[in-house]
Structure 1
């Protein structure tokens, strides 16, 4: 019976057209993902080349004072993209993956980013996660909304039911055939992704596959539930499309609006302004007061005392540091609110499988907000490391030629993601079980 149902389904032109459209969209999304990864890799290679040339040129023209030389030099930290980022671009097309900073004040540099075309950002990217979360459910709806109602409306259901001891098996068989075809389509797309994006066969690719299958299975259980109410085809289609709109468009938009209003982040501008004011006002302050605050922050440098010159690099970089210190409160407030947004998104998404799928895909692909926040923390650590390296050389007027400038290459950050399989699968399994049990009750009551 299963083979007969499969042959009948594959003879349908509508089924072939639907599969072809989604498959082509999936292949297109893979090439868009490859283009995104190639752009990221090109940017990283250019950054490495630029840093070498930049340091070489600056050192060539500023041999007299190391304090003046490091005033200009930018040191780069890159957020290495994972190959799976090609499947789920997330926020990587908005948040910069490269931070090039001097050892001067950090807060004025941390929020620098690339320029983007606002029209492109509005349209978004057709990546694989979009195809999975938005297009595959529509394909499932188109394949399953009339499985039972069409037979009843054509008057053939009674004939089919009389030839089977358990009519429910016919319905499950029809759903299983459609599930098999769609899961094979998904598997083919992921195998193509392995080739096109050079994906390694590791636990992260497995997680991506399991999340994708679980998400599609969740949508099949929704269809099964709607079919079990035994309404007409037009009613089933209206219910399923409305459910798709609620789960993929309306709820996510409402949740995003709630989170942004619940945790507003007005401190981004305030942080930069506070840092600049904190630095510039130090020009008119007593040097001793400035240096005392600096030595409170870095007690290991107290031995250098208070400079008696009208200008010294010790005093200058102390002012730069205090500019960051004055902006620290706003910096911490902004960072805390962004983490609250992230945790609220994760919590709410655990009750909404559509959001949960997108969130988990972004986490595994290292393309979500949490990855960017950790990268910013890594930038802070990197900046502090460079400061602590150069401060003693600057304060002691070390010779420029004594430094091995070739050793300052591009540093990299790569997040290690721990997969919590229970947290990843629980929303899908819970939702699917609820809908299956509900549909089972309906089928027993009506005895399909």
Structure 2
């Protein structure tokens, strides 16, 4: 314990004298502060858009609600009163919105939120092209990303760790102080371990401080989630520990400072640039994703084909697919302006597009599954996925949201079709009790995150164990 205390005091004094190292640490800290500002600004912008959507919906909702008590002594009032409760009018004037709100600490890891749609309009045109301008297989492959705190932790903190530790042993060897310590009976390996521990705690405290600042900033926008914060700190700490385990392994090889620095920088390039790019290329080669323009073309073609169907055939198909409405069948169903004809059109178009979208979705699902499998060979990529999952901004979060939107749209279609087919209006009470979209969390998400953190720790301890097997000659 006395040696441990002595090493720590010595490292603190040495750090205070090294102005360049202090400037380097300050630079990385300010970089982390900027990344928090970037994530805060991005999330605030999305929240402003969401607030605008919700306020617009509430404004239109009050107008629809006022229609039930409109003044029928005026022409405008008569029109509003007549339209009050008509399903198609309600859906046209004020459609529901399914919103994927930012989660507790999403400002720290933007993930997929910059390219994936975070809201969808709920209408009877269900299961059509969601977010047609979004590319579903984005920067999770560590090719690039937003300058958020996750980026700083994944990419930049390892560089700082390398800068602080690459010559921990070689410097002592080059100055020949290792021999002096050995002659005095002090186990040199223990000293190196203490020196690395000091640097690990230094960087870890900096990352924790940045994370806590991020939590405080995030709490100003989004309700704070203690579980997510703890998992974030655990994940970031495990990743830093992984890089110190690699550093310890390189140090135990006994190479010069230059060689150690080159080896560590080579590993950084390999784990953060080359390997992710290679995995990304392999996955895209074997699991290509078709263009979303194909789905848009399918929508146009199916829309034209369904509308061009003979009316009787269209109505017959509708009742065949929806036998619960057979008792409402009438001879006027095939008329030009029949509500049932429009309901039959949307129903059949939705069924056809469901098959098209399901066919399309199997490609990104297969790609995501393949990438998840390859993550286990690269702790850096695995950490990126972990931090995105903790922040609720990963691809799995988006796919879960999209699946829930499609399910909710189907429920909405069935609800509105019941009124349209029966030629009924919604009452004021029905309007007030319209179902709203509520996003559910992914099952076993935290368990999977903890499993990923344990994987990082396991890899790190294995590297340390192998390092111990290397004989250091003094």
**Counterpart residue number, 1:288:** 312
Q: How far did residue 23 of structure 1 move?
A: 0.9
Structure 2 CA distance for partners of 1:213 and 1:422, relative to 1, 3 Å: same
Partner of 2:377: helix, strand, or coil?
coil
**Counterpart residue number, 2:408:** 382
Q: How far did residue 320 of structure 1 move?
A: 1.8
Which residue, out of 243, 246, 269, partners 1:222? 246
Confirm or deny: 8 A CA contact 1:79 1:375 kept in the other structure.
yes
**Counterpart residue number, 1:415:** 441
Partner of 2:121: helix, strand, or coil?
strand
Q: How far did residue 11 of structure 1 move?
A: 2.4
Which residue, out of 301, 306, 310, partners 2:325? 301
Confirm or deny: 8 A CA contact 2:288 2:367 kept in the other structure.
no
Query: Which one is further off, 214-223 or 405-414?
Result: 405-414
In the TM superposition, 1:305-320 aligns within 5 A as 305=329, 307-320=333-346
Q: How far did residue 57 of structure 1 move?
A: 5.6
Deviations 1:22-65 (A, max 9, x none): 11111111222222222222122111111133455678667459
User: Is 1:346 aligned to 2:372, yes or no?
Assistant: yes
| Distance in 2 between residues matched to 1:123 and 1:221, nearest whole Å | 25
**Counterpart residue number, 2:11:** 5
User: Is 1:82 aligned to 2:103, yes or no?
Assistant: yes
Partner of 2:98: helix, strand, or coil?
strand
Structure 2 CA distance for partners of 1:68 and 1:411, relative to 1, 3 Å: closer
Q: How far did residue 385 of structure 1 move?
A: 1.9
| Distance in 2 between residues matched to 1:296 and 1:204, nearest whole Å | 49
| Distance in 1 between residues matched to 2:403 and 2:224, nearest whole Å | 28
**Counterpart residue number, 2:200:** 179
Deviations 1:169-218 (A, max 9, x none): 12112111111111111221122122221163522211111111110000
| Distance in 2 between residues matched to 1:110 and 1:125, nearest whole Å | 23
| Distance in 2 between residues matched to 1:317 and 1:302, nearest whole Å | 14
Deviations 1:318-372 (A, max 9, x none): 1122122222332112222222222222221122110110101111211011111
**Counterpart residue number, 1:118:** none
Confirm or deny: 8 A CA contact 2:126 2:410 kept in the other structure.
no
Partner of 1:99: helix, strand, or coil?
strand
Partner of 1:83: helix, strand, or coil?
coil
Q: How far did residue 124 of structure 1 move?
A: 4.2
User: Is 1:106 aligned to 2:134, yes or no?
Assistant: no
Structure 2 CA distance for partners of 1:31 and 1:422, relative to 1, 3 Å: closer
| Distance in 2 between residues matched to 1:44 and 1:422, nearest whole Å | 31
Partner of 1:345: helix, strand, or coil?
helix
TM-score normalised by structure 1 residue count: 0.90
Q: How far did residue 237 of structure 1 move?
A: 0.9
Confirm or deny: 8 A CA contact 1:87 1:127 kept in the other structure.
yes
Which residue, out of 238, 246, 249, partners 2:273? 249
Query: Which one is further off, 187-196 or 2-11?
Result: 2-11
**Counterpart residue number, 1:394:** 420
**Counterpart residue number, 1:259:** 283
Confirm or deny: 8 A CA contact 1:108 1:276 kept in the other structure.
no
User: Is 1:149 aligned to 2:148, yes or no?
Assistant: no
In the TM superposition, 1:262-273 aligns within 5 A as 262-266=286-290, 268-273=292-297
| Distance in 2 between residues matched to 1:72 and 1:326, nearest whole Å | 23
TM-score normalised by structure 2 residue count: 0.86
**Counterpart residue number, 2:179:** 158
Query: Which one is further off, 151-160 or 222-231?
Result: 151-160
**Counterpart residue number, 1:210:** 234
Query: Which one is further off, 254-263 or 355-364?
Result: 254-263
Q: How far did residue 164 of structure 1 move?
A: 4.1
Partner of 1:413: helix, strand, or coil?
coil
Unaligned 5+ residue runs, structure 2?
A: 1-5, 68-78, 136-142
RMSD over aligned Cα atoms: 2.6
Confirm or deny: 8 A CA contact 2:232 2:390 kept in the other structure.
yes
Partner of 2:115: helix, strand, or coil?
coil
| Distance in 2 between residues matched to 1:281 and 1:420, nearest whole Å | 45
| Distance in 2 between residues matched to 1:18 and 1:297, nearest whole Å | 68
User: Is 1:38 aligned to 2:65, yes or no?
Assistant: no
Q: How far did residue 99 of structure 1 move?
A: 0.8
**Counterpart residue number, 2:139:** none
| Distance in 2 between residues matched to 1:82 and 1:348, nearest whole Å | 27
